[in-house]
């Protein structure tokens, strides 16, 4: 299967590498071409412009946000140049409003858009162990299932409306941010009583909250290990903003998302924007005078 892959950041590079390992023909594009060099050594070809990557049976995009995706897919003319029948797997976390627009623009061009955002960090992407949400025309999803299998450990089907996958991804990231905030506040409380965050979070991660989010982020918070960033705090702010916008469009109040937005803004103002979003926990420590 001839595949175009656009966006070779921390997540995209690992995903693209797994497609190559599975034997697929890959043409890659990235705004900084140097990031493509390891994939070229593995057999990928380099597209000089996004349009070249869209000369494919399937296009995968893993770009930072709405603005980057709009620039690369729409403003560049790449989608307009695609041949009818193209399937586009949009695997980044995008807004509900923009995905609605993408679905319509693809329909006008005779192409198909599948929303396939993922749960998992950089190391999970490299290992091909992502959990992939998939929503779009079922026949198209069946065609790209081998690609999803190469990049993830499980595909979670969510029907034919791409917005279903968008909503689950946004809501899931909102829950992760909520967990980080709760751990930060609870660790600040217990530390004020002489209990080290490492001890408290180890107890919680092995008893009441024995789940990957609490164990993994709990360890980062306990160790104050926020660099290198697996997921930058500024992107966390973006995703909480997506949750607020999605809720507003359907008249669903998300009061705690507003708290998270303000706390993330405070963290960025304190210089933590490029650190891992687990650094959100430092807001509670600073406020309690224990940082």
- Residue 270: name the closest of 261, 256, 280, 258 by CA: 280
74 in the same domain as 208: no
- Residue 244: name the closest of 28, 95, 99, 107 by CA: 95
Q: Specify the number of domains making up the chain.
A: 2
Cα–Cα dist 236/256, whole Å: 14
pLDDT of residue 1: 84
pLDDT of residue 144: 98
- Alpha carbon dihedral 132, 78, 34, 278, in 10-degree steps, equals -40
The average pLDDT across 145-159 equals: 98
34 in the same domain as 152: yes
Give me the CATH number covering residue 124: 3.40.50.720
Inform me whether the pLDDT recorded for 217 exceeds 90: yes
pLDDT band at 224 (very low <50, low <70, confident <90, very high): very high
Could you give the percent of the chain with pLDDT greater than 70? 100
pLDDT of residue 132: 98
Radius of gyration of the chain (CA): 20
178 in the same domain as 140: no
- Which residues are identified as catalytic? 169
Burial class (CB in 10 A: 0-12, 13-18, 19+), 208: exposed
Could you give the residue ranges of the DSSP H alpha helices within 152-229?
162-192, 197-206, 212-223
**Which residues form the domain of 145?**
2-160
The answer to whether 133 and 169 are in contact (CB under 8 A) is: yes
Inform me whether the pLDDT recorded for 157 exceeds 90: yes
Could you give the percent of the chain with pLDDT greater than 90? 99
193 in the same domain as 143: no
129 in the same domain as 14: yes
Counting every residue written for the chain, the total comes to 291
Where is the domain boundary, 160, 184, 219?
160
Edge-to-edge, what's the strand order for the sheet holding 152-157?
A: 118-119, 130-134, 152-157
Inform me whether the pLDDT recorded for 287 exceeds 90: yes
- Give, in order, the Cα–Cα distances in Å from 129 to each of 23, 151, 155, 278: 18, 7, 10, 21
pLDDT of residue 291: 84
170-183 burial by CB neighbour count: b if 16+ within 10 A, else e?
A: bebbbebbbbbbbb
Quick check: helix, strand or coil at residue 187? helix
182 in the same domain as 62: no
Q: The pTM is what?
A: 0.96
Where is the domain boundary, 138, 160, 182?
160
114 in the same domain as 79: yes
Where is the domain boundary, 160, 190, 217?
160
183 in the same domain as 155: no
């Amino acid at each position: 299967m001839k595949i175009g892959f656009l966006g070779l950041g921390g997540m995209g590079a690992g995903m693209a590498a797994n497609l190559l390992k599975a034997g697929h023909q890959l043409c890659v594009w990235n705004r900084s071409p140097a990031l493509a060099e390891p994939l070229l050594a593995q057999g990928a070809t380099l597209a000089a412009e996004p349009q070249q990557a869209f000369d494919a049976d399937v296009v995968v995009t893993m770009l930072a946000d709405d603005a980057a995706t709009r620039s690369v897919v729409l403003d560049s003319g790449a989608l307009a140049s695609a041949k009818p029948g193209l399937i586009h797997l949009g695997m980044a976390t995008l807004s509900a409003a923009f995905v609605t627009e993408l679905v319509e623009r693809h329909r006008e061009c005779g192409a198909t858009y599948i929303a396939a955002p993922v749960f998992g960090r950089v190391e999970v992407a490299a290992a091909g162990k992502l959990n992939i949400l998939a929503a779009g025309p079922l026949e198209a999803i069946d065609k790209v299932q081998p690609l999803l299998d190469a990049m993830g450990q499980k595909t979670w089907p969510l029907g034919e409306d791409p917005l279903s996958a968008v909503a689950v991804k946004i809501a899931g990231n909102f829950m992760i941010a909520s967990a980080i905030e709760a751990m930060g506040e609870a660790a600040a409380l217990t530390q004020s009583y002489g209990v080290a965050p490492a001890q408290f979070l180890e107890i919680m991660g092995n008893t009441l909250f024995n789940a990957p989010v609490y164990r993994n982020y709990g360890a980062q918070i306990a160790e104050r290990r926020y660099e290198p960033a697996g997921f930058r705090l500024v992107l966390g702010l973006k995703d909480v903003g997506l949750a607020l916008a999605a809720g507003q469009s359907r008249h669903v109040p998300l009061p705690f998302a507003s708290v998270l937005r303000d706390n993330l803004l405070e963290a960025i103002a304190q210089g933590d924007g490029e650190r891992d979003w687990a650094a959100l926990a430092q807001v509670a420590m600073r406020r309690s005078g224990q940082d």
